[in-house]
Amino acid sequence: MVDLDQLVSEAQQSFSSTSDAVALEEAKAKYLGKSGLLTEILKGLGKLDPEQRKSEGAKINAAKTAIEGALNQRRNQLADDLLQARLSQEAIDVSLPGRGRGAGSLHPVMRTWERVEEIFHSIGFEVAQGPEIENDWYNFTALNSPENHPARSMQDTFYVEGHDAKAQSLLLRTHTSPMQIRFASNAVKTHLQQYGNLDDMPDIRVIAPGRTYRVDSDATHSPMFHQVEGLWIGKEVSFAALKGVYTHFLKTFFENKDLHLRFRPSYFPFTEPSAEIDVAFPSGKLAGRWLEISGSGQVHPTVIRNMGLDPEHHIGFAFGSGLERLTMLRYGVDDLRLFFENDTRFLSQFPA
């Protein structure tokens, strides 16, 4: 019979002399593998008579348990060593100075947003925000946008599945103009509730900045972009007031008293007459070119009616300007996609 104690101590030595897991698994095969020494001995049991088989069997099992124990111990040891080695290799030198987090700063489009709010606030405009998921009424119909308006098509608009409580179809608003209706009709309703008539209704003077969405993507269009809507409704709000307000806004925004503005006839369903506002810088890289900056116009009588007002008594103007466009012109950015790539090499050029 083989000396089992001898075998066990040989196995123990062999295991403890291995220096990594691969070598250990190889050493294990010699004893516990399919044709390992212990397996061979177990096979020999069949030749013994029952009494002997029982006592030898017990001894062999004890030896097997001992060898397996030694194997597991070495496995754990090697795993521990590996961990310790990694820990000391990747150790953190706590005496080093901290790296800090770096200071964040406002996104350039958000700066424009805040700047626009400040300027309009300073001349008596309220600031309002509306929902980005709009319904068909506010986004199109109430704004006198005809059934066949191109912005309604599936290519232009992100539709949202389902309908709202009034069975209106839902979409991501394609412009901030729905806020004209929302804000004005709310002001009218509130005034009526309080006074019962609109005789002394104060002027409605509001801007509504926010996110807007269209199926559009290139160097000057992004599927999500920002606009600011402006609205002033009163008893005697003329087109001249639009010119005055917008001229003041642009000159303040660009910090340039010598800007030129041009109101170029245009068409929007919700204004009549409508104008595109162009700006020209007197000097610098962009000098000498008319740059389109905003849509605008006198609010269409149908829209005034949809606000709950009588176009015979109320009149006013509206405008809608792109915040990215304003930002690009102010900072000389020539690709709109830079705003949305989150590249810190770009963003860090606008420190706090």
> Is 325:219 a contact under the CB 8 Å cutoff?
no
Of the pair 14, 271, the CB lying nearest ligand DAH is at 271
Q: Residue 140 burial (CB < 10 Å; 0-12/13-18/19+)?
A: buried
CB of 330 to ligand DAH, least distance (A): 20
Of the pair 63, 323, the CB lying nearest ligand DAH is at 323
Contact call for residue 318 and ligand DAH (CB under 6 A): yes
CB of 306 to ligand DAH, least distance (A): 14
CB of 285 to ligand DAH, least distance (A): 26
Tokens of 36: 């390992």
> Is 198:187 a contact under the CB 8 Å cutoff?
no
- Give whole-number Cα distances, 110 to 210, 269, 324, in Å: 10, 29, 10
Of the pair 108, 320, the CB lying nearest ligand DAH is at 320
Measured CA to CA, the distance from residue 342 to residue 206 in angstroms comes to 31
Show the DSSP H helices in 17-49 as ranges: 21-32, 37-44
CB of 310 to ligand DAH, least distance (A): 20
Stretch that binds ligand DAH, among 37-45, 193-201, 314-322, 323-331 (CB under 6 A): 314-322
Stretch that binds ligand DAH, among 1-9, 198-206, 254-262, 291-299 (CB under 6 A): 291-299
Contact call for residue 295 and ligand DAH (CB under 6 A): yes
CB of 236 to ligand DAH, least distance (A): 19
Measured CA to CA, the distance from residue 247 to residue 166 in angstroms comes to 40
Total residues interacting with ligand DAH, rule: CB under 6 A: 11
Tokens of 297: 């116009």
| Amino acid residing at 218 | D
Stretch that binds ligand DAH, among 56-64, 119-127, 154-162, 293-301 (CB under 6 A): 293-301
Of the pair 28, 314, the CB lying nearest ligand DAH is at 314
Q: Considering only residues 14, 139, 296, 327, which one is a binding residue for ligand DAH as defined by CB under 6 A?
A: 296
Tokens of 92: 């953190």
Contact call for residue 178 and ligand DAH (CB under 6 A): no
Residues 182-241 that bind ligand DAH (CB under 6 A): 229
String of b and e for 184-223 (b: at least 16 CB within 10 Å)?
A: bbebbeebeeeeeeeeebeebbbbbbbebbbeeeeeeebe
Stretch that binds ligand DAH, among 33-41, 62-70, 152-160, 292-300 (CB under 6 A): 292-300
String of contacts with ligand DAH for each residue 147-176, x by CB under 6 A: ----------------------------x-
Of the pair 31, 178, the CB lying nearest ligand DAH is at 178
Residues 255-274 that bind ligand DAH (CB under 6 A): 268, 271
CB of 96 to ligand DAH, least distance (A): 53
Handedness of CA 178, 264, 260, 108 (dihedral sign): positive
Tokens of 294: 């905003």
> Is 104:184 a contact under the CB 8 Å cutoff?
no
Contact call for residue 314 and ligand DAH (CB under 6 A): no
Measured CA to CA, the distance from residue 138 to residue 153 in angstroms comes to 16
Interface ranges with ligand DAH (CB under 6 A): 175, 177, 229, 268, 271, 295-297, 318-320
